Structure 1
Amino acid sequence: MSAPAEVPELVSRALDLSRQRGFITSIRNETGRLLAALAASRTGTLAELGTGCGVGSAWLSSGAPKDARIVSAELDPVLAKDVQKIFADTQNVDVIAGDWSTLEQYAPFSLLFIDIPEVMETIDVVADLLEPGGIVVLDDFVPSAFWPPIVEGRVDTVRERWLTDERFAAVEMLIDVDASLIIATRR
């Protein structure tokens, strides 16, 4: 079996910005490849809440059809401007300076990547942002071998809610021995 191809050019540029800015927590390549694969099956508007240095948006763009629109919001206006430069030649990606709620005007989303813990807790708001059949990917969970999921001696109520909410068909996916994510499809 051969190794996966190098990361796409936009992803490489976003990772370079991440290193320059001292970000050590951009998404893993495994998560990025999953986002690209999911984006390839989507039409309409895709979004990332919590742009950071644009790594997630770059992965979405690498997989999305050319007629799909990708919007992303970054709270730090200086960082948003730097990320906008990465996507300057990418017609279907818009990076907005503002908090995640500035993207509500672009909903409903066919694919939504969330990397902001406070937003993950607002399952009702997220459900309203997705079109029927829309997919949300929630990143940065610590794997748990228990049910209900236990992390640091406490029940992970956010994960428990996402995996049991009847509005979604959801699954937790192990990305690495120390990382998992949730993929949930709006019924």
Structure 2
Amino acid sequence: MSAPNEVPPLVARALDLSRRRGFITATRNETGRLLAALAASRTGTLAELGTGCGVGSAWLSSGVAEDAHIVSAELDPKLAEAVQDLFSDTPSIEVTSGDWSALEKHAPFSLLFVDVRDVKRSVDLVADLMEPGGIAVLDDFTPSYTWPPIYEGRVDVVREQWLTDERFIAVEVMVAPDASVILATRV
């Protein structure tokens, strides 16, 4: 296992691809370590919506159990191909070209990393993809210390929906002083 300031080799390769492709918003290491820890507790099928350069999937892979499978969808076909090449020696990861719906055939998921803004806004869509007890991880929130949650001077209705939907037990977790995720377990 790598030290907290180091990243696993596959993550390092995905971060390198991200830099070469000009992506500056890859999954943060703090979120990645959380993904790895959660993946270690899961079996079955794990998924990432919004592959980008594969950083999130690489973090999931660094913690996943041997019998688990990771699927990921990337909208850009050329980028999906580059990430498939990146993961060619990692049989537990399957990258497909397409939007989030390309992964529906793999559902239900025991862990779902949602890094796509439009999907994050649809609790119903994500709920339908999850197995009972499955965990959805929603990325890219700025911590809010009030209720209702406020972002840029307005009620953050997306966060409010996730934290109050009866199909999930959800919590906002800070991963850094300027970043948080929502963990939502399907009941």
TM-score normalized with structure 2 length: 0.97
Unaligned runs of 5+ in 1: none
SS in structure 1 at match of 2:19: helix
User: Is residue 43 from structure 1 mapped to residue 43 from structure 2 by the alignment?
Assistant: yes
Q: 2:139 corresponds to which residue? A: 139
SS in structure 1 at match of 2:46: strand
Partner Cα separation in structure 2 for residue 20 and residue 73 of structure 1: 20
Q: 2:15 corresponds to which residue? A: 15
Partner Cα separation in structure 1 for residue 5 and residue 156 of structure 2: 35
The structural deviation recorded for 1:5 is: 5.7
SS in structure 1 at match of 2:62: helix
The structural deviation recorded for 1:148 is: 0.3
Partner Cα separation in structure 1 for residue 33 and residue 99 of structure 2: 26
The 5 A counterparts of 1:21-36 are 21-36=21-36
User: Is residue 63 from structure 1 mapped to residue 70 from structure 2 by the alignment?
Assistant: no
Q: 1:101 corresponds to which residue? A: 101
Partner Cα separation in structure 2 for residue 69 and residue 133 of structure 1: 17
Q: 1:80 corresponds to which residue? A: 80
Partner Cα separation in structure 2 for residue 5 and residue 115 of structure 1: 23
Partner Cα separation in structure 1 for residue 174 and residue 68 of structure 2: 28
SS in structure 2 at match of 1:90: coil
Deviations 1:14-50 (A, max 9, x none): 0000000010000110100000000000000000000
Aligned length: 186
The 5 A counterparts of 1:121-140 are 121-140=121-140
Partner Cα separation in structure 2 for residue 186 and residue 179 of structure 1: 23
Deviations 1:79-98 (A, max 9, x none): 00110011101111100011
User: Is residue 6 from structure 1 mapped to residue 34 from structure 2 by the alignment?
Assistant: no
Partner Cα separation in structure 2 for residue 45 and residue 5 of structure 1: 28
The 5 A counterparts of 1:111-122 are 111-122=111-122
- Percent identity of paired positions between Structure 1 and Structure 2: 72
User: Is residue 171 from structure 1 mapped to residue 178 from structure 2 by the alignment?
Assistant: no
SS in structure 2 at match of 1:81: helix
TM-score normalized with structure 1 length: 0.97
RMSD: 1.1
The structural deviation recorded for 1:6 is: 1.9
Q: 2:186 corresponds to which residue? A: 186
SS in structure 1 at match of 2:81: helix
Counterpart AA for 2:124: D
